[in-house]
Amino acid sequence: MQQNERTEISEFGEFGLIEHLTKNNEITQAGTLLSVGDDAAVIDQFGKQMVVSTDLLIEGIHFDLMYTPLKHLGYKAVAVNLSDIYAMFATPTHITMSIGISNKFSVEALEEFYEGVYAACQKYNVDLIGGDTSSCQKGFIISVTAIGEVAPDKYVTRSGAKVNDLICVSGNLGAAYLGLQLLEREKKIFLENPGIQPDLEDQSYLIRRILKPEPRAEIVEWLQENNITPTSMIDISDGLSSELLHICKSSNVGCVLYEGKIPFHPDTEKMALEFLLDRTSCALSGGEDYELLFTIKQEDYEIMKTNAHISVIGYITEKEKGTYMLSKGGNNHKLIAQGWNAFS
């Protein structure tokens, strides 16, 4: 490669890079309703709409096989893709799965991985319809593409949030990040003292949240059954702060987030104390929770509050008012995207 200039990828960051590389992307197919830049793309096939999303998972970047059982990895690779489909308010139907593997893996190891893949497919009623298998020089590479369907024009993007809409989140946040800290701590102890057994017995909830996340299918189903269509929606893979900023940027609005309303699991609170970590920071920047973040019209609040698995955590404001979190102490903090940046 001969280059006159050299711009480092890290100068852009993941989202900046995608934006930069796709700015000249031309759409020619009449059926392309939504392209690069949301959780998934939407294409129209003769009135029925399909949603497509894809993810690349690379050993050493996205997962550590020292503490990730291959069966869990297979399950998670499918689950995180389905999460993107649900985040479009759609129902996943099919996936393709490609893997690149070095010869350190045996056939038995791959069987274990595929057990997890099939378990996730069965649980979410999705068919594995194709893929590619290749060798690679080092490590394990996984590429998954998920396809889903949605009733015509019922898909939900990141860009529909309106002033005064309520900001909602499913489940609880920060658990996956603390699960990861636990695994990293035990890995370190093990590497220093291989004789010591890991002390993870009481932490099954946090460990499960990082190793075997579940897409929030039942939240989407509940919303659909109750005729609530969110005005915007995204899944939380990079942390609440980063995802909320995506919605605000795409929707051209601001927001107020109440720190005191962010939902936590008791185990998350306890472990944050043990690690001397601020639990709010774990929720804002931790990532990998795969909960759904969405906005609804105020009129949907009465029904929404009947669902104990959904928390209202703030509201949408005019863009000029900025993107802030109101702390428990009553102070305004500007939200910043400190989420996971693969290029930093």
Residues binding its own copies: number (CB under 8 A): 90
How many other CB atoms are there within 10 angstroms of residue 190's CB atom? 15
Tell which positions 129-188 bind its own copies, by CB under 8 A: 129-139, 141, 143, 145, 147, 149
**Pairing of β 166-170 and β 133-135:** unpaired
Tell which positions 65-104 bind its own copies, by CB under 8 A: 65, 70, 93-94, 96, 98-101, 103
Closest to its own copies by CB, 6 vs 334, is 6
Least CB distance to its own copies at residue 31 (A): 7
Least CB distance to its own copies at residue 331 (A): 35
Measure the CA–CA gap between 258 and 255, rounded to whole angstroms. Answer: 10
Binding characters for its own copies, 204-223, by CB under 8 A (x = yes): --------------------
For 159, 286, 287, the CA distances from 164, given in Å and listed in that order, are 15, 27, 26
Measure the CA–CA gap between 296 and 205, rounded to whole angstroms. Answer: 29
Angle of the 70-86 helix axis to the 217-225 helix axis, nearest 10: 30
Positive or negative CA dihedral for 105, 108, 114, 119? negative
Tokens read off for 206: 């946090």
Closest to its own copies by CB, 81 vs 317, is 81
Burial (0-12, 13-18, 19+ Cβ within 10 Å), 229 = middle
Q: Does 119 engage in binding with its own copies (CB under 8 A)?
A: no
Least CB distance to its own copies at residue 113 (A): 8
Q: Does 26 engage in binding with its own copies (CB under 8 A)?
A: yes
Measure the CA–CA gap between 90 and 153, rounded to whole angstroms. Answer: 11
Contact stretch for its own copies (CB under 8 A) within 53-61, 174-182, 189-197, 269-277: 53-61
The H or E element spanning position 121 is helix 107-123
Cβ-proximal residues to 118 (8 Å cutoff; 6+ apart), any chain: 74, 128
Least CB distance to its own copies at residue 160 (A): 19
Tokens read off for 324: 């802030």
Indicate which single residue of 64, 111, 202, 274 sits in contact with its own copies (rule: CB under 8 A): 111
Closest to its own copies by CB, 58 vs 312, is 58
Least CB distance to its own copies at residue 144 (A): 9
Closest residue by Cα to residue 98 from 81, 85, 83: 81
Closest to its own copies by CB, 69 vs 322, is 69
Tell which positions 304-333 bind its own copies, by CB under 8 A: none
Q: Does 46 engage in binding with its own copies (CB under 8 A)?
A: yes
Closest to its own copies by CB, 23 vs 334, is 23
Q: Does 279 engage in binding with its own copies (CB under 8 A)?
A: no
Q: Does 236 engage in binding with its own copies (CB under 8 A)?
A: no
Q: What is the DSSP string of 315-328?
A: EEE-GGG-EEEE-T
Q: Does 28 engage in binding with its own copies (CB under 8 A)?
A: yes
Contact stretch for its own copies (CB under 8 A) within 128-136, 154-162, 256-264, 321-329: 128-136
Could you tell me how many residues make up the chain? 344
Q: Are 124 and 92 in contact (CB under 8 A)?
A: yes
Contact stretch for its own copies (CB under 8 A) within 118-126, 181-189, 247-255, 324-332: 118-126
